[in-house]
């Protein structure tokens, strides 16, 4: 039994394997929950408790198009939602977005600011990126506590038309094809009939048709099968003995065969089977070996919301339960069977098409358009209350042979693909076609859970390793003893960035030597200065921690891409378009949205402010302070200069040095700051009292500011860590020419845009349709309008329409 369940979990979800072993060994945590008299009520209660403690956060990215040329800009909008109810979730203020190559190496990375659960960003695809299939993935700091399969993933294609051939295509041999087999419920068990799902894929990960036969170890055929839609199918099979091994021989085409072993057979175990037994009826059966009578527990949940919880009585090794599909929640449901020892022994997925809610309606003002013609699209929402509102985004790009891949839509993602581990080909099919067998084959080959039952049933959960970032990016660093990996706990550490805006934060290292700093309004690349007070610690080593995830989903992209000769005219055309646009409109690529910045220092309004140009200029800072800064007393002792700030509240002098800053950077050696030429200082501010920041107490604050906010060549202590660090991405402005005047319409500048329109900031209400306008370019053809959106109560919607642009007469 142990081996049975572990084998299933290794193929589908390692989380279940750890729970099963933990349950048998009597690990702490599970026993108190199972010891309750009413196990049936305990299971949903434990699941609800876990859902509250481990909120499931999801991200969806609306990418402006599926194919990019080197040098083009990739635009996207980020939607953050609660994974249980799909409502906008404001848990995080930063999303991490990456573009990964076939080896899971990031070629582009960015931190995207989230406000009210949405954000927007862009990447300029560099010329150094080779042609290939790439994956855009996105996650938050909180999502790093879960498996990387829970991150958002979307495939994109990059074409580097500066290189003649791009990456080489893999050889088309049968070794590159893969076939996987998935027994329903988890395992093959001796003497028990099982439905076995099969999935056959080509080197690009796409399903391919195949026929096959199953041979026992003597070479006898014991089952045959053929795949149906997208290389998936199933067959019934009864293994005769746990000592037997079985091999599937698959025929992929004329003269092309592959052989793959079936999963091992176990002497004991449970087999689950779910089928439609009527137009409005589902039947779930469980068969077991060597257990004539036993009480089983069945739990069905969708996105951690319990839909069914019941007992099943195993009689003569067989149990059955009949129920209606409408008792389940829409989307992907998980059916888990627990044995009498309250251990999970079988699980499978089931898909029920979600009930449509929000409808997104769009209508163009003309049946077709000419070059440089104005387009007006009226946008309206249906199925909403009059006061409801939705956040939307819209892209309009040219359709050609290179952009044939359909865009991923938010309703399909939240309702289906985000709940599955692998890539789902054409998810729209499962929402539109009446093909329950295809949906069932997809579920049988996609066993995965976002949580571990071990965690759900534990009496208490361990503290999460990664915390949310509700107020801006969190910068983490590790403190160790110099020359070792031994952590340095209890050390106050300061983080700052040289600037005309005075910002400083501090943190105390924990037992692992980790410190974290919450950064407000931290955007673009900046120099970070991380240091400790030499009087407290002068030897520790400081290292910034990479904020991007270093874990990747199993069976990553693994795709290569080559330029196809038959598409050569399209490559040449797109190359010309991109180069013309870059030549005439490239200057607009680096235009950024101006954002209001709070210029107030971290200590607020100071008690004293001196603009030194308004006073008599002295050569040295000692004279400046002595002559017209009454709040700071300069003392000279054996070790040099000291500052004493006058505490005006208590009418006394603070006995220790204040926090001395230069362009916001702490300077603990006052002798060095006093040696700085006074002519380089523009402003001096003083806080005339103790100042409390975090766990640190400053005996006043003396802040010097240079003219440029760049330290003016001041040499920091060599033990101080100075490192270039990217904050949240600054927002580029999308530029598109407008031809609303005769002069603009007659401009001789060519307009060969592939992307006509991108707008991530659309807000719509249930009763107020709105009109969006943009202009066509000089290229005739068909243009796809893609709209995505999400309401405040969690109703996703997407819509597409095609615009025709005719050539000029």
Write the DSSP string, 506-561: EEE--TTSEEEEE-SS-BSEEEEEEEE-TTT-SS-EEEEPP-S-----SS------
Model pLDDT, residue 42: 85
Q: How far apart are CA 557 and CA 675, in angstroms?
A: 57
Model pLDDT, residue 145: 94
What residues are paired with 797 via a beta bridge? Answer: 789
Q: Tens of pLDDT along 742-768?
A: 999 999 999 999 999 999 999 988 777
Q: How far apart are CA 529 and CA 9, in angstroms?
A: 46
Q: How far apart are CA 727 and CA 631, in angstroms?
A: 36
Model pLDDT, residue 561: 56
Model pLDDT, residue 165: 46
Residue 398 DSSP one-character state: E
Q: How far apart are CA 384 and CA 390, in angstroms?
A: 9
Model pLDDT, residue 254: 83
| 111 Ramachandran zone, left/alpha/beta (phi>0; psi -120 to 50) | beta
Q: Could you tell me where in the chain the CATH 2.170.130.10 domains are found? A: 608-724
Q: Model-level pTM? A: 0.90
How many helices (H) does the chain have, and how many strands (E)?
12, 48
Residue 797 DSSP one-character state: E
DSSP string, 65-112: -SEEETTPEEEEEEEEEETTT--B--S-SEEEEEEE-TTS-EEEEEEE
Model pLDDT, residue 275: 94
Please choose, from the candidates 331, 312, 325, the residue with its C-alpha nearest in 3D space to the C-alpha of residue 276: 325
Q: Could you tell me where in the chain the CATH 2.60.40.10 domains are found? A: 359-408+733-805
> Strands 374-382 and 389-398: what pairing?
unpaired
24 neighbors 343 (Cβ within 8 angstroms): yes
Q: Which helix (H) or strand (E) holds 743?
A: helix 742-745
R_g of the chain computed on alpha carbons = 32
CATH code assigned to 359-408+733-805 = 2.60.40.10
Q: What is the largest CA-CA distance in the chain?
A: 102
Model pLDDT, residue 15: 39
CATH class of 608-724: mainly beta
What residues are paired with 266 via a beta bridge? Answer: 189
475 neighbors 469 (Cβ within 8 angstroms): no
Give pLDDT < 50 ranges for the chain. 1-37, 165-174, 557-558
Judge residue 639's burial from the number of C-beta atoms within 10 Å of its C-beta, 0-12 exposed, 13-18 middle, 19 or more buried: exposed
Model pLDDT, residue 172: 45
């Amino acid at each position: 039994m142990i081996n049975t369940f572990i084998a299933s979990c290794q193929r589908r979800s390692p989380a279940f394997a750890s729970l099963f072993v933990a349950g048998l060994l009597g690990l702490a945590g599970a026993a108190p929950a199972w010891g309750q008299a009413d196990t049936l009520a305990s299971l949903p209660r434990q699941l609800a408790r876990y859902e509250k403690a481990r909120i499931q956060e999801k991200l969806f990215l609306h990418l402006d198009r599926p194919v990019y040329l080197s040098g083009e800009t990739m635009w996207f909008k980020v939607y953050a939602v609660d994974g249980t109810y799909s409502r906008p979730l404001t848990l995080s203020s930063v999303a991490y977005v990456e573009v990964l190559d076939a080896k899971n190496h990031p070629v582009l990375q960015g931190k995207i600011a989230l406000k009210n659960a949405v954000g927007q960003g862009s990447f300029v695809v560099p010329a150094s990126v080779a042609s290939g299939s790439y994956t855009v993935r996105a996650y938050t700091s909180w999502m790093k506590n879960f498996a990387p399969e829970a991150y958002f993933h979307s495939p994109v294609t990059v074409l580097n038309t500066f290189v003649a051939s791009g990456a080489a295509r893999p050889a088309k041999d049968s070794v590159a094809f893969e076939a996987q087999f998935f027994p329903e419920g988890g395992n093959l068990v001796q003497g028990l009939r099982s439905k076995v799902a099969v999935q056959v894929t080509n080197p690009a990960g796409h399903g391919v048709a195949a026929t096959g036969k199953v041979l026992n170890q003597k070479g006898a055929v014991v089952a045959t099968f053929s795949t149906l839609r997208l290389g998936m199918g199933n067959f019934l099979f009864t293994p005769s003995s746990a000592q037997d091994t079985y091999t599937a021989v698959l025929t992929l085409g004329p003269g092309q065969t592959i052989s793959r072993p079936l999963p091992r057979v176990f002497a004991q175990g449970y087999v689950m089977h779910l089928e439609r037994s009527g137009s409005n009826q589902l039947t779930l059966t469980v068969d077991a070996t060597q257990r004539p009578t036993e009480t089983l527990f069945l739990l069905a949940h969708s996105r951690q919301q319990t839909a069914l919880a019941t007992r099943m009585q195993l009689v003569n090794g067989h149990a059955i339960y009949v129920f209606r599909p409408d008792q389940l929640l829409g989307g992907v449901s998980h059916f888990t069977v627990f044995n009498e020892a309250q251990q999970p022994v079988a699980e499978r997925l089931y898909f029920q098409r979600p009930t449509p809610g929000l409808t997104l309606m769009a209508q163009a003002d003309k049946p077709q358009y000419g070059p440089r013609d104005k387009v007006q699209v009226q946008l309206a929402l249906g199925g909403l209350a009059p006061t409801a509102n939705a956040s939307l985004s819209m892209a309009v790009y040219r359709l050609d042979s290179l952009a044939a891949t359909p865009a991923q839509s938010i309703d399909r993602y939240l309702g289906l693909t985000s709940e599955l581990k692998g890539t789902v080909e054409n998810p729209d099919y499962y929402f539109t076609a009446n093909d329950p067998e295809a949906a069932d084959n997809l579920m049988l080959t996609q066993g995965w859970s976002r949580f571990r039952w071990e965690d759900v049933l534990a009496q208490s959960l361990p503290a999460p390793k990664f915390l949310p970032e509700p107020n801006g990016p969190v910068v983490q660093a590790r403190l160790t003893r110099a020359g070792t990996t031994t952590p340095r706990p209890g050390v106050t550490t300061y983080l700052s960035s040289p600037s005309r805006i005075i910002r400083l934060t501090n943190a105390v290292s924990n037992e692992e030597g980790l410190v974290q700093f919450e950064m407000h309004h931290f955007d673009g690349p900046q120099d970070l200065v991380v240091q400790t007070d030499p009087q407290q610690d002068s030897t520790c080593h400081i290292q910034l921690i990479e904020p991007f995830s270093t874990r990747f989903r199993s069976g990553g992209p693994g795709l290569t891409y080559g330029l196809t000769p038959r598409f050569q005219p399209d490559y040449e055309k797109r190359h010309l378009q991109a180069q013309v646009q870059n030549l005439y409109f490239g200057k607009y690529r680096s235009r950024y949205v101006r954002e209001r910045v709070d210029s107030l220092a971290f200590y607020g309004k100071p008690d004293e402010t001196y603009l030194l140009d308004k006073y008599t200029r002295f050569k040295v800072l000692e004279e400046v302070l002595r002559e017209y800064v009454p709040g700071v007393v300069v003392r000279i002792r054996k070790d040099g200069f000291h500052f004493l700030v006058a505490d005006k509240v208590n009418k006394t002098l603070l006995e220790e040095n204040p926090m001395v800053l230069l362009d916001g950077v702490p300077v603990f050696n006052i002798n060095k700051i006093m040696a700085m030429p006074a002519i380089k200082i523009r402003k001096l501010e003083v806080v005339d009292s103790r100042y409390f920041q975090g766990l640190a107490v400053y005996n006043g604050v003396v802040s010097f500011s240079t003219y440029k906010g760049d330290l003016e060549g001041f040499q920091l202590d060599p033990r101080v860590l100075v490192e270039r660090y990217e904050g949240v991405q600054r927002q580029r402005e999308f530029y598109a020419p407008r031809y609303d005047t005769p002069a603009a319409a007659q401009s001789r500048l060519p307009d060969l845009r592939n992307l006509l329109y991108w707008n991530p900031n659309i807000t719509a209400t249930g009763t107020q349709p709105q009109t969006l306008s943009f202009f066509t370019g000089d290229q005739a053809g068909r243009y796809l309008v893609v709209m995505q959106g999400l309401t405040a109560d969690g109703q996703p919607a997407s819509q597409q329409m095609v615009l025709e642009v005719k050539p000029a007469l």
